[in-house]
Chain A
Amino acid sequence: MDSPLVITLKTSIAATAVTFFLGIFFARAVINLRRFKGIADAILTLPMILPPTVVGFFLLLIFGKRSTIGKFLLQFDVSLVFTWQAAVIAAVVVSLPLMYRTTRGAFEQLDRNIIDAARTLGVSETKIFWQIMLPNARFGILAGTVLAFTRTMGEFGATMMFAGNIPGETQTMSTAIYAAVQANDYDLAFQQAILLVVLSMIFMVAVNFATAKK
C-alpha cells in the first residue's frame, strides 16, 4: 500500500508531465488563433478561477458512469472515477492554466523580429517553433512547469470530488491531512503537513538555485 507521500509524488510527476506538453501545445495553438482567441483563453484559464470542487464536479459529470465518455470507457471495463488516474486527470486540469498561461506569456515576450527574421530567411514554422521559440522561451516554460508541479502537489478539492480519498490508492498528502483532522488525529495531520512544507521548500530552493546560476 502506497503512502500519501508516494501517491502525491506519483500523481504530481505524472500530471506535470502531461500538463507540460498540453500547456505548450495549447499556448502555441492559442497564439496562432486568428479568431476566438479570447474564448479559447477563457476556457483554458477557467479551472484556475473556479473553485476546485466545481472542477471536480464537472469531471465527475464528464467521466461518470452515466456520461457518454463514461459509458464508452465501461465497454473496455474501465472506470475512472475514484482511481489514481482520476487523481492525475484532476491535477492536470487544475495545473494546466498555470502552464498554459506562463508558456504563452513567454512565447509572446519573444522578440517578434527574431521570428520574422527566421521567416524571411526561409525557416519553416515547425523549425521556428522547435529551434527558436522553445529554446528562447525556456525560462518561462521552466517557470510554468514549476508552478504547475507545485499546484498539483497542493491539489485538494478536485481530487476529493473526482478521485476520492481512498488510502493507499487515491489518498494524497493534502487529502490525508483532511482525513486525519476529521478523525481527530492531529499528530498524523501535523506530520503530513510538515512533510509537505519541507518538500515544497526543498523543491523551490532547488529550482531557484538552478535558475540563478544562468
Chain B
Amino acid sequence: MKLDVYIRKNLRDFVLEVEFSVRDEIFALLGASGSGKSMTLKIIAGIEKPDEGRITLNGRTLFDSAKKINLPPQVRRVGYLFQNYALFPNMTVAENILFAAIGTRDEKLFKLKENLARFKLDGLENSYPHELSGGQAQRVAFARVLASHAELLLLDEPFSALDSHLKWQLERELNEVLKIYGAAILVSHDRAEVFRLADRVSVINAGKIEALGTKHEIFQRPPTKAAALLTGCQNISAAKKISDDKIFAEDWQLTLSAKKIPDDLKFIGIHAHALESCSEAGENIFPFEIIGVVEEPLNFTVTVRAAENALPLRWQVDKNFRDKNGEVFLCLLADKIIFLRG
C-alpha cells in the first residue's frame, strides 16, 4: 500500500495544508478537535474536495487539481469508518455487508460468511442496526468495509462513542483487524490510543502538521508546544536560551542547566512524572512551595511553584506521598527537559 497526500483547503478558521505519505503501516493523525484531522480523512475518501492538491493511492491518482482529476468516492477504494458507524438502518447486518460486498453472488456470500465469523457476528445476521450494541455495530462496520473493495482503511475517532471499559477489548480487536489489513490512517485525539495502535504519528494543529515521526520519537521528543500538549506533557513554560548551557524558564521563574540547547527555543516542557523529589539543593534542584494536592486513582498530582509570581508545575507522585504541606525539593533532570520550537 502506497498513499501520497498533499492537500490544501481554506477552512473557516485556518488553512488546512498537509503533506504526508503512508506505506504498509498504521499512520495516526493526532490532533485536538477542530484541528483539521477529520477533514483530511474526508478529503482522501472523496467526501470533501480540497482547493488544491494531489492524492495518489497505489499508483492511481485519486485527486489532482492541476490535472483536474477528482475521482468520485465510489471508485477510490478507500474504506471510511465513521464515528457513528453509519450502518444502513433499513438493512439487517447481513444486508449491510452484502450491499458493500463485491464480486459474483457466490463471492459475496463467501465474503459475508468469512466476515461474520471473523468479527464474531454469527447469529446477528438478521438483526437490524438499532438492535446492536455499540461494540457489535462497530464490528459490523468493520465487516462491511472488509467485504468491500477498500485498499486503505480510514478510521475517524473509532472509539470516541464507546464507554471506556468496552474500549479496551475493541481496541485489541481493531489491532487484529489492522494486522490483517496492513494499512490504515487513524484519526484521534486520544494519545494513549494512538500510541498503542499506530506505528508513525503526525501531530496536526490548526491545519498544519507540526511533527511527524515514529511514535517513540514523537512521544519522547515532541518538537512543538501543541505536540507536547497532545502527547501528554502537562508542564510547559515559555523559555529563553541565556547561554550555551543555561535556559531561563519565564513562567516557572527557574534558571535551568541543559545540554545542546537549540537557538530557536521558545518553550520547554517536562512531564509531571519526570519530576523527582530530592533531599537537598543542587543542579536543577529547586525548593518548591506545595499549593495543591489532588488524589487520583493511582497517584497524587501535586501542584508546586518556585516563587510567588511563578506559574505552577504539576508533579505526579505515588501514593506513599505524605508531606502535603510546605516545601519540597524537586529535580528537573537535564535530559528530561523537552525543547520546543513554538
* A residues lining the B interface (CB < 8 Å): 111, 113-114, 116-125, 131-132, 135-136
B90 within 8 A of A: yes
B144 within 8 A of A: yes
Please indicate the chain B residues that have their CB under 8 angstroms from the CB of A119 in the complex: 46-47, 72-74
**Partner among B72, B78, B89 whose Cβ is within 8 Å of the Cβ of A136:** B89
Please indicate the chain A residues that have their CB under 8 angstroms from the CB of B99 in the complex: 118, 121, 123, 131
Binds A, one of B80-88, B106-114, B288-296: B80-88
* Closest residue on chain A to residue B44 by CB atoms: A120
Q: Which 7 A-B pairs have the closest CB atoms?
A: A117-B86, A121-B100, A113-B86, A119-B73, A135-B90, A120-B80, A113-B82
Say how far B49's CB is from chain A's closest CB, in angstroms: 12
Give Cα A135 to B92, complex, Å. Answer: 13
> Assuming A114-B88, A116-B86, A117-B82, is B149 touching A122 (CB within 8 A)?
yes
Say how far A157's CB is from chain B's closest CB, in angstroms: 40
Contact B45 A120 (CB under 8 A): yes
Please indicate the chain B residues that have their CB under 8 angstroms from the CB of A124 in the complex: 74
Say how far B131's CB is from chain A's closest CB, in angstroms: 15
* B residues lining the A interface (CB < 8 Å): 42, 45-47, 72-80, 82-84, 86-90, 99-100, 102, 144-145, 148-150
Say how far A37's CB is from chain B's closest CB, in angstroms: 18
Contact B90 A121 (CB under 8 A): no
Please indicate the chain A residues that have their CB under 8 angstroms from the CB of B42 in the complex: 116
Interface of A is mostly: helix
- Residue in B45, B47, B75, B144 with the greatest tally of chain A CB atoms within 10 Å: B47
Give Cα A118 to B150, complex, Å. Answer: 12
Residue pairs across A and B with Cβ atoms less than 8 A apart, 25 shown, are A113-B86, A114-B88, A114-B89, A116-B47, A116-B73, A116-B80, A118-B99, A119-B46, A119-B47, A119-B72, A120-B45, A120-B78, A120-B79, A121-B100, A121-B144, A122-B77, A122-B100, A122-B102, A122-B148, A131-B90, A131-B99, A132-B88, A132-B90, A135-B90, A136-B90
- Residue in A117, A123, A132, A135 with the greatest tally of chain B CB atoms within 10 Å: A117
**Partner among A114, A121, A131 whose Cβ is within 8 Å of the Cβ of B79:** A121
Say how far B134's CB is from chain A's closest CB, in angstroms: 15
Give Cα A131 to B47, complex, Å. Answer: 20
Say how far A55's CB is from chain B's closest CB, in angstroms: 36
Give Cα A121 to B100, complex, Å. Answer: 6
Give Cα A22 to B273, complex, Å. Answer: 67
Say how far A119's CB is from chain B's closest CB, in angstroms: 4
Give Cα A123 to B74, complex, Å. Answer: 6
Say how far B227's CB is from chain A's closest CB, in angstroms: 30
Contact A120 B76 (CB under 8 A): yes
Give Cα A56 to B301, complex, Å. Answer: 78
Contact A111 B72 (CB under 8 A): no
Say how far A186's CB is from chain B's closest CB, in angstroms: 52
Please indicate the chain A residues that have their CB under 8 angstroms from the CB of B90 in the complex: 131-132, 135-136
* Closest residue on chain B to residue A111 by CB atoms: B86
Say how far B94's CB is from chain A's closest CB, in angstroms: 15
Give Cα A136 to B78, complex, Å. Answer: 25
Contact A117 B74 (CB under 8 A): no
* Closest residue on chain B to residue A128 by CB atoms: B74
Please indicate the chain A residues that have their CB under 8 angstroms from the CB of B84 in the complex: 111, 113
Please indicate the chain A residues that have their CB under 8 angstroms from the CB of B77 in the complex: 122
Give Cα A137 to B106, complex, Å. Answer: 31
Say how far A106's CB is from chain B's closest CB, in angstroms: 13
Please indicate the chain B residues that have their CB under 8 angstroms from the CB of A116 in the complex: 42, 45, 47, 73, 80, 82, 86
Give Cα A111 to B130, complex, Å. Answer: 14
**Partner among B73, B87, B88 whose Cβ is within 8 Å of the Cβ of A120:** B73
* Closest residue on chain A to residue B48 by CB atoms: A116
Contact A117 B80 (CB under 8 A): yes
